[in-house]
A and B are shown apart, each in its own frame.
Chain A
Amino acid sequence: MAETYPVIDRRRLADVSGGDVRFERELMEAFVEDARKRVSQMVQARDGGNAVDVRTAAHTLKGSARNVGALAIADLAALVETCAAADGLPDGELLERLRAGIDRLAKEMEVPAP
């Protein structure tokens, strides 16, 4: 399953940052904060039965997760996107796993809690 992937691709992160740890921390903070917002959007859209908004938020999260090397989160977001694209709505468990993935990343990268 997706959760068995490394939560963050450290090589990708180092390629981007050039080894600048401060930049990495800033990037992770920004990513985690925005990722949480996207998940909240997905939950809200799912509760309102709006598959299109779920899909858009999942698509955006997938893109930024891939960009920073957050592979597990990217894969989970892709799952949500596929599900919503077929006009279905993701179940609560899937969105919970996404949220848990973000928490794990935050913990691993020592992102302070909001």
Chain B
Amino acid sequence: MRILVAEDDRSSRMVTVRLLERLGHAVVPAEDGEEAWLLISRGGKFDMVISDWMMPKLDGRRLCQRVRRRENRCGVSYTYLVLLTAMTDRDHMLAGFGAGADDFLHKPLDEAELVARLRVGERIIALEKRLGDEVEKLQGANRKLHADLKAAAAVQDSMLPRELPPDDRVRFAWDYLPCEELAGDILNIVPLTKDKYGVYVLDVSGHGVAAALMSVTVSRVLSNDPMSSLLLGETAEQDVTPPGRVLALLNERYPIDANSGMRFFTIAYGILDAAKGTFRYASAGHPPVLVCRGGKSEYLTTGGPAIGIIPDWGFEEAEIEMDPSTRVVVYSDGLIENPNARNRQYGYDRFAELICKTGSCSFDRLTDTIVHEARTWSKTAGLEDDLSVLVFGMK
């Protein structure tokens, strides 16, 4: 071991150093507590410090306190501290342990006792070192995990709506708040044809990595990539797949089973036709789409079971007219079901009221308001679920 000996009495110091050296240790002597402290605080690495209690300037007890404070503040490795004292009374022992000492050695130094106590010290030092190594390993693994999650979150973000081709007939706004690094929610606005936009919000059961993987997988078939998209028409007469059919295809492709990790998802999917001024949609277990017009709001109740639950389900479709005052809000249950500090859910009525109240403010303001409301509502509890919101209308 590398041992620092702090002892002001020269002959006693010589005896201690000599005994330790004969036992095979590397010893650095210090003439008092202050010199010992300088050696330590300037970065000297010692497995053990054996310090006299009574010393001028800085005594052994205060040296112990400083060493422990430094360990706490700077996160340096543990030093085993032994106080050398002729005092054997209980109060002294307690004060020494209280200052951070690990053990005591009695004067005059007895070789057999010294050997025994050094052995105890070595054992503790080895344990502390192993603990430190393990903590470091865990921290390393944790850092890597965080980096991986960040990379995964970037992939997920790349699946969110990109800049749309300019179209002065329609307006869109959206926001998206994962409650963890990765979300089980995903949403998108997909230009399908010159006039038609596919719009969806989907929510995979649970959250975290497994839910995120599924949301990313599903979002790849809900794109306008002709190779993989389910949204583009299957026949020449049909340029886009009708919403009910899209949900039926998803239902077929993603049954809830061991392959999906018993996960399922809900989705609201619709097609906004800018030429005809209509929104045709279908829903699979998703919170009802909210439509606001003329200061009144209405939930669209058309829907079916969540995707993957019931095979061969025929998903109903419905269509609404879009006039310039109509705004449609598609969202996930993150806000509606989010409990506040008193464990009360936000609820559908409050949500409808909020949307109506915000009147004709800009769409971006509307999504900001919804996100702000969600954060305020769950201020103390924090978001318990991902929150997605997508608002659109026609000009």
Partners in one complex: yes
The segment out of B6-14, B61-69, B94-102, B294-302 that lies at the interface is B6-14
Partner of B109, one of A17, A27, A31, A67: A67
B260 to chain A minimum Cβ distance, whole angstroms, is 74
A27-B15 contact in complex given A63-B107, A67-B109, C-beta closer than 8 Å: yes
User: Do the beta carbons of B22 and A67 come within 8 Å of each other?
Assistant: no
Shortest beta-carbon distance, A70 to chain B, in Å?
Answer: 9
Chain B residues whose C-beta falls within 8 Å of the C-beta of A68 in the assembled complex: 11-12, 15
The 8 A CB mask of A20-36 against B (1 = contact, 0 = none) is 00010011001100100
Q: B10 contacts which chain A residues (CB < 8 A)?
A: 30-31, 34, 64
Q: Determine the chain B residues whose CB is within 8 A of the CB of A17 once the complex forms.
A: 18
Q: Which residues of chain B are near A27, meaning CB under 8 Å?
A: 11, 14-15, 18
- Which residues of chain B come closer than 8 Å to A30, judged between CB atoms? 10-11, 14
Asked if residues B111 and A67 are in contact (CB atoms below 8 Å), the reply is no
28 chain-A/chain-B pairs, Cβ below 8 angstroms: A15-B111, A16-B18, A16-B19, A16-B111, A18-B18, A18-B22, A27-B14, A27-B15, A27-B18, A30-B11, A31-B10, A31-B11, A34-B9, A34-B10, A34-B11, A63-B9, A63-B12, A63-B107, A64-B9, A64-B11, A64-B12, A66-B108, A67-B9, A67-B11, A67-B109, A68-B11, A68-B12, A68-B15
Nearest-neighbour CB distance to chain B for A11, whole angstroms, equals: 11
Q: A60 on the interface (CB 8 Å rule)?
A: yes
From residue A69, how far is it (CB to closest CB) to chain B in Å? 8
- Residues in A whose Cβ lies below 8 Å from that of B120: none
Question: Is the interface on chain A under 10, 10 to 19, 20 to 34, or 35 or more residues?
Answer: 10 to 19
In the complex, what's the smallest C-beta–C-beta distance from A68 to chain B, in angstroms?
5
B155 interface residue (CB < 8 Å to A): no
Q: How far is the CA of A26 from the CA of B12 in the complex (A)?
A: 12
B9–A60 contact, CB under 8 A?
A: yes
Which B residues touch A34, using CB under 8 A?
Answer: 9-11
Taking beta carbons and an 8 Å cutoff, which residues of B are in contact with A? 9-12, 14-15, 18-19, 22, 86, 107-109, 111
**Residues on the B chain within 8 Å of A63, using CB:** 9, 12, 86, 107-108
B15 surroundings in chain A (CB, below 8 A): 16, 27, 67-68
Contacts of A64 in B (CB 8 A): 9-12
What 18 additional pairs, Cβ within 8 angstroms, besides A23-B14, A63-B107, A68-B12? A15-B111, A16-B15, A16-B18, A18-B18, A18-B22, A23-B18, A27-B14, A27-B15, A30-B10, A31-B10, A31-B11, A34-B11, A63-B12, A64-B9, A66-B107, A67-B11, A67-B109, A68-B11
Q: Which residues of B contact A16 (CB under 8 A)?
A: 15, 18-19, 111
Specify which chain B residues have a CB less than 8 angstroms from the CB of A66 in the assembled complex: 107-108
Please provide the 3 A-B residue pairs with the shortest distance between their CB atoms, ordered closest to farther. Answer: A31-B11, A66-B108, A67-B108
CB distance from A28 to the nearest CB of B (A): 8
| Min distance, Cβ A31 to any Cβ of chain B, angstroms | 4
Q: Which residue of B lies closest to A60 (CB)?
A: B9
Q: Smallest Cβ distance from A7 to chain B, in angstroms?
A: 15
CA distance A62 to B128 in the complex (A): 37
Residues of A within 8 A of B19 (CB): 16
Considering residues B11, B12, B86, B108, which has the most beta carbons from chain A within 10 angstroms of its beta carbon?
B11
Chain A CB within 10 A, most for which of B10, B14, B22, B86: B14
In the bound complex, how far is the Cα of B15 from the Cα of A31, in angstroms? 11
